[in-house]
C-alpha cells in the first residue's frame, strides 16, 4: 500500500541500455510489478466479473444475504484492482518514469482514499461473511435465538454492505493528514501523524478483521462438526446439511485466503520502509495481497459445489463438457442395461455383445 519514489535505475533495467543488469534488485522488482501485476489484473477482472454474473443470474443466490456479500466483495475487488494494482503495476512498464498519483495532482487524494478504502472494505466484508455464517450455523445447531441471517433478505444485506462502505470511506478520508499532495502525493513518514495512521491502517484492514475471521471460523468448524454428528445419530435429512456445509466450506475457504494473503502485509507494515534490503520482500508481499483479492473466484469454484453447479449451467461451459454423461444419465442408462439383461436372460450367446454395445454407448456417446 505504500509505494516508494522511483529510484534512478531506469538505465540498469532498460534491456536496450549497455548497463542493463536483470539480476539487480530493482529490475527484479520491476519485472514482478510488470508481469505479476498484469496477471493479477487480468485474472482478477475476469474472475470478479464471472462471480458477479453467477450470483446475479441465479435467483436462489441473488435473494440471499450471502449473494449480496459476494457481489459487494467482487465490486470491492474490482475497485482494488483498478486503483491499487494499476498504480502498483504501471512503474514496471515505464521503468519508474510514470507515477499515476503524481499525474493526478489534487486527484491523488481521492485515488489514495479509494485504494485504502477498497482494501479495508474487502477485509470487513470478509469479516461480516464470517460472523453472519457462524451465527446462522450456530442458530441451526444450538437453537440460538436472534442470531444469523435466516430471515434477512437481500435488501437488508444491501443495507449492511452500504453502511460498511460509508464507514470505510469516512475512516480512510483521514489519510489526507499524512499526504503531501503538493509535492508529488507522497506519504509524510517523518510526521507524528504517520505513526498513528500506519498503526490504525494496519489494525483496521488486517489485524482486527483477521482476528474476527479466525475466531468465527473456529466456532463455525465446531458447529459444523456437531451438526454432522447430530444428523448421523438422529437419521435426519442430510441434503440440507450438505448444502449448508458446501456454502460454509466455500465462505470459509475465502476467509482463509484473506488471512493468508494479508498476513505478510501485516509484517511488512512493521518493517522499516526505508531499508533497501526489504524492498523486494515488500513488493512480493503486496503482490500476494493483491493476488488474494483477485482470486476469490478460483476459491469459489474449488470449494463451492453449488457455485460450480450454477456455473456449469451456462451454455459456454456445457460446450466443454459435451459428450460427457451426467450421473443421472448414467444411472438411467444402467437401468436400461439391467432391463435388457433381464429380457435376454437365457440368451447367453448374445449377452456379451449386448453388454459391450451398451457399455460403449454409455462411455462414448457424444
Rounded to the nearest 10 degrees, the angle between the axes of helix 296-303 and helix 37-57 is 50
C-alpha cell read off for 338:
439391467
Query: Would you say the C-alpha torsion 204, 167, 259, 37 has a positive or negative sign?
Result: negative
Q: pTM of the full predicted structure?
A: 0.75
Residue 351: per-residue pLDDT: 45
The mean pLDDT of 294-322, rounded to a whole number, is: 73
How many Cβ atoms sit within 10 Å of the Cβ of residue 144? 14
pLDDT, position 164: 94
Backbone angles phi, psi at 267, to 5 degrees: -70, -40
Closest by alpha carbon to 132, among 292, 52, 251? 251
Q: Lowest-pLDDT range, 165-179, 191-205, 229-243, 346-360?
A: 346-360
Q: What is the pLDDT of residues 16-55, one digit of tens each?
A: 777 777 778 888 888 899 999 999 999 999 999 999 998 8
* Digit-coded pLDDT (tens) for 158-194: 899 999 999 999 998 888 888 777 676 777 776 777 7
Q: What is the pLDDT of residues 322-352, one digit of tens each?
A: 444 444 444 555 554 555 555 555 554 444 4
Q: 47: phi > 0 → left, psi -120 to 50 → alpha, else beta; which?
A: alpha
- Residue 122 pLDDT level (bands cut at 50, 70, 90): very high
Model pLDDT, residue 274: 64
Residue 154, pLDDT score: 77
Helix (H, G, I), strand (E, B) or coil at 248: helix
Residue 74 pLDDT level (bands cut at 50, 70, 90):
very high
Amino acid at each position: 500500500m505504500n509505494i516508494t519514489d522511483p529510484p534512478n535505475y531506469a538505465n540498469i533495467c532498460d534491456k536496450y541500455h549497455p548497463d542493463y543488469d536483470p539480476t539487480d534488485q530493482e529490475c527484479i522488482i520491476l519485472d514482478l510489478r510488470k508481469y505479476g501485476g498484469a496477471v493479477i489484473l487480468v485474472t482478477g477482472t475476469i474472475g470478479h466479473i464471472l462471480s458477479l454474473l453467477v450470483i446475479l443470474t441465479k435467483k436462489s443466490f441473488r435473494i440471499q444475504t450471502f449473494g449480496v456479500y459476494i457481489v459487494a466483495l467482487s465490486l470491492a475487488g474490482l475497485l482494488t484492482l483498478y486503483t491499487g494494482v494499476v498504480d502498483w503495476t504501471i512503474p514496471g512498464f515505464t521503468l519508474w518514469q510514470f507515477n499515476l498519483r503524481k499525474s493526478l495532482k489534487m486527484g491523488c487524494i481521492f485515488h489514495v482514499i479509494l485504494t485504502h478504502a477498497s482494501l479495508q472494505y474487502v477485509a470487513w466484508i470478509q469479516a461480516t461473511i464470517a460472523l453472519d455464517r457462524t451465527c446462522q450455523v450456530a442458530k441451526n445447531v444450538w437453537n440460538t435465538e436472534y442470531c444469523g441471517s435466516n430471515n434477512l433478505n437481500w435488501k437488508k444485506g444491501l443495507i449492511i454492505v452500504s453502511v460498511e462502505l460509508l464507514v470505510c470511506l469516512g475512516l480512510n478520508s483521514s489519510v489526507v493528514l499524512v499526504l503531501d499532495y503538493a509535492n508529488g502525493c507522497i506519504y509524510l513518514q517523518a510526521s507524528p501523524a504517520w505513526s498513528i495512521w500506519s498503526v490504525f491502517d494496519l489494525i483496521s484492514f488486517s489485524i482486527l478483521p483477521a482476528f474476527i475471521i479466525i475466531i468465527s471460523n473456529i466456532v463455525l468448524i465446531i458447529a459444523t462438526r456437531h451438526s454432522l454428528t447430530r444428523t448421523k445419530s438422529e437419521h435426519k435429512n442430510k441434503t440440507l446439511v450438505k448444502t449448508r456445509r458446501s456454502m460454509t466450506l466455500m465462505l470459509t475457504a475465502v476467509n482463509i485466503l484473506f488471512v493468508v494473503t494479508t498476513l505478510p502485509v501485516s509484517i511488512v507494515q512493521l518493517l522499516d520502509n526505508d531499508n533497501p534490503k526489504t524492498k523486494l520482500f515488500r513488493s512480493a508481499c503486496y503482490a500476494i495481497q493483491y493476488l488474494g483479492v483477485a482470486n476469490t473466484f478460483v476459491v469459489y469454484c474449488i470449494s463451492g459445489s453449488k457455485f460450480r453447479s450454477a456455473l456449469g449451467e451456462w451454455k459456454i461451459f456445457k460446450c466443454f463438457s459435451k459428450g460427457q454423461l451426467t450421473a443421472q444419465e448414467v444411472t438411467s442408462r444402467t437401468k436400461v442395461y439391467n432391463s435388457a439383461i433381464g429380457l435376454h436372460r437365457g440368451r447367453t450367446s448374445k449377452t456379451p455383445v449386448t453388454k459391450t454395445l451398451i457399455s460403449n454407448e454409455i462411455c462414448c456417446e457424444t
